[in-house]
Each structure stands twice: as structure tokens, then as C-alpha cells.
């Protein structure tokens, strides 16, 4: 529990529905730990609803569910245990939310497959994955390794804790909302079934969270894989495939984690996808718009913050042609 508190304080984050800040959690736990410590093994601990927060993303918004600080501490402690139980069983081609693995590792593995004869990618888009995780299937999966029913009951209570939208509480009958410490490991446990199915079929793939691409030698094989795996995702995992965004294409055309590859058989290079560049320019225009009424120092500070974060991620590119004016 101490390491969970330490991790929470390091990550900071916004308050949940009760308004408690991270700074106050240590004092709160000193006063109430005896009651919390009894409620957890008794199975009487009741999480509060998560706070709905919308984050803009290309083509819409990403819905986050921010738990209270206390609930985040409990979730973090459980997540650390689950990571020890599950992570070593995950596929070597799964890169999201895992120790010592990153998006850049995923895109390098992507390039490695393309350098072989696998010159087509099957890009399967999962529609609102985090909002549509089936609770019963997830808990059944957890029960294969977690034998303590009190822990399973606690997980279900987190999944069913509800969401606060505009001051009104709404039930959550499916999904594991992004924003809490448990969501990453639970999402990997769900999609590990997909990884195992792909491995069983001898398919090469790279997955980062719900962004999964499969590599094949030709268009016809890609269409067949798209049909088979989409059926598995919808029938077995009870998730939805976005048919409009899913496609079989070339790796220099399709975007993966903001990148694509150059069209070279022997030495494909990692480059920034043109859509990523377009969004970058749009964001710079928004920051520098005069009508926003800020001082020059404020503008420069905001622009530097954005540019620094953007370059820390996209600076790994190996082809800078698209960055030229």
C-alpha cells in the first residue's frame, strides 16, 4: 500500500467527485485507515462514482473516468499485484502499459515485420474499446488466476461504481473507463485473448493497448485475416470493430501510433504520418492565435510546452522530409 501511495503522489492528477486532492491523501489515510483496512477484506468497501472528463482527440473526444484519490490508491495497489501475476504471461508483441515497453518499441517492431516479406497491414480499429469491455467476461478471465472472491468482488464494485455526468450519477454496465490505475492492466488482460488467438494462428502482429495491426504478405490474405479476426473480436470478446476505420493497406499509407513507414523494401524508415503533421500545424495555429488575449510570455510558454512534448515523442522519426516548410 505504501508503494501505491508513493506512485499516486508522483502521478498527481485531478480530484474525483469528492473534491479531495492528492496532497490530502496521507492525512486522510491516517485518520481513516483502520476503517478502510477492515472494509477491504470484509468486502464492504464501496468505491465512489468516477468523474467524467472529456479530452479532445482527432475526430471527437476521449472519455475519461477519474476516480477519487482514495479509490485510486486502492486501484493502484491492486494493479501492482495484478501486474506481477499477469505481465510475464503476456505476448512479446504487446507493448501498451507494460514495464520497459513503449510506443517507440512498438513502431520499431512494426518496421521489423515490414522489412520481411510482410508488405501489407491489417489495421483493425476497435470501436470505443474501453467503454465496451464486457464485465462478466473480464471477471471470468480474472478468476482463472485470482482465487480470492473478495478481490473479484472489489473489482466488480470498481467496474460498477457508476459515472458522474453533470452532477447526475449514471450506472456503468460495461467498460473499464480510462483514467484509473486499474484500467491499463484490465485492458491488457482482455486483449491478451486476442494476442493468444493471433499467435495460435501463426500471425505476426504488434499491439499497443487497443491499437493492433497484423502483418501479411498480400491483399487477399489480408482480407481473409480481417474477416476471421473481426469475427473473433465480436463473437468471442464481445467487442465491436469499426468497419469504416478498419482496412487492409500498405504500411507507408496507414497510420500507426502517429507514424508510418517510407516505401522502401530493404530499408523502410520511420516517418511522421501526414495526418499527424496536419494536426500539429493546426494546434500551433490555435496556440498562436492573437484573439486568445494572452501576453507574449504566456504564448511562448504554452508553445514551448507543446513543442517539447510533441518532439519528445515524434523526434524519434528517421525521415524529416515532412517537417520541412
Residue 126 contacts residue 240 (beta carbons within 8 Å): yes
Quote the pTM value: 0.90
Residue 266, C-alpha cell as written in the block: 530493404
Contacts of 139 (CB under 8 A, 6+ apart): 152, 155, 156
226 and 278 belong to one structural domain = no
* HSE of 63, CA atoms in CB hemisphere, 13 A: 15
Q: Provide φ and ψ at 100, rounded to 5°.
A: 60, 30
Which domain, by its residues, includes 316?
A: 270-323
139 and 72 belong to one structural domain = yes
First to last CA, the chain: 51
Domain membership of residue 304 (yes or no) is yes
Domain membership of residue 55 (yes or no) is yes
pLDDT in tens, the chain (325 residues): 778 888 888 888 889 999 999 899 989 999 999 999 999 988 899 999 999 988 877 777 888 999 999 999 999 999 999 999 999 999 999 999 999 999 999 999 999 999 987 899 999 999 999 999 999 999 999 999 999 999 999 999 999 999 998 888 999 999 998 999 999 999 999 999 999 999 999 999 999 999 999 999 999 999 999 999 999 999 999 999 999 999 999 999 999 999 999 998 888 999 999 999 999 999 999 888 865 677 888 888 999 999 999 999 999 888 766 665 5
236 and 294 belong to one structural domain = no
Identify the residue whose cell numbers are 489480408.
222
Domain membership of residue 109 (yes or no) is no
Rounded Cα distance between 261 and 318, Å, is 9
Which pLDDT belongs to residue 292? Answer: 65
Amino acid at each position: 500500500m505504501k508503494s501505491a501511495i508513493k506512485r499516486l503522489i508522483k502521478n498527481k492528477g485531478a480530484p474525483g467527485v469528492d473534491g479531495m486532492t492528492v496532497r490530502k491523501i496521507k492525512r486522510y489515510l491516517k485518520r481513516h485507515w483502520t476503517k478502510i483496512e477492515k472494509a477491504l477484506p470484509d468486502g464492504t468497501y464501496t468505491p465512489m462514482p468516477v468523474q467524467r472528463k472529456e479530452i479532445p482527440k482527432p475526430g471527437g473526444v476521449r472519455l475519461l473516468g477519474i476516480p477519487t484519490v482514495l479509490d485510486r490508491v486502492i486501484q493502484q495497489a491492486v494493479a501492482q499485484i495484478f501486474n506481477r501475476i499477469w505481465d510475464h504471461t503476456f505476448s512479446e508483441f504487446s507493448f501498451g502499459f507494460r514495464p520497459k515497453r513503449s510506443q517507440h518499441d512498438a513502431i520499431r517492431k512494426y518496421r521489423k515485420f515490414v522489412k520481411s516479406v510482410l508488405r501489407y497491414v491489417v489495421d483493425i480499429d476497435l470501436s470505443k474499446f474501453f467503454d465496451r469491455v464486457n464485465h462478466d467476461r473480464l471477471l471470468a478471465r480474472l478468476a482463472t488466476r485470482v482465487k480470492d472472491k473478495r478481490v473479484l468482488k472489489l473489482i466488480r464494485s470498481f467496474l460498477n461504481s457508476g459515472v458522474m455526468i453533470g452532477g447526475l450519477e449514471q450506472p456503468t454496465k460495461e467498460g473499464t473507463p480510462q483514467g484509473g490505475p486499474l484500467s491499463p492492466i484490465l485492458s491488457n488482460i482482455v486483449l491478451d485473448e486476442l494476442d493468444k488467438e493471433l499467435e495460435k494462428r501463426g500471425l505476426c502482429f504488434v499491439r499497443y493497448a487497443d491499437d493492433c495491426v497484423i502483418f501479411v504478405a498480400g491483399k487477399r490474405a489480408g482480407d481473409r485475416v480481417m474477416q476471421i479476426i473481426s469475427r473473433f473480436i465480436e463473437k468471442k470478446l464481445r467487442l465491436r470493430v469499426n468497419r469504416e476505420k478498419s482496412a487492409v493497406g500498405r504500411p507507408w499509407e496507414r497510420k500507426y501510433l502517429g507514424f508510418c513507414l517510407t516505401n522502401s523494401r530493404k530499408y523502410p524508415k520511420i516517418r511522421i504520418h501526414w495526418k499527424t503533421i496536419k494536426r500539429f500545424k493546426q494546434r500551433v495555429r490555435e496556440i498562436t492565435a492573437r484573439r486568445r488575449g494572452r501576453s507574449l510570455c504566456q504564448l511562448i510558454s504554452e508553445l514551448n510546452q507543446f513543442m517539447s512534448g510533441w518532439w519528445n515523442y515524434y523526434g524519434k522519426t528517421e525521415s524529416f522530409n515532412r517537417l520541412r516548410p
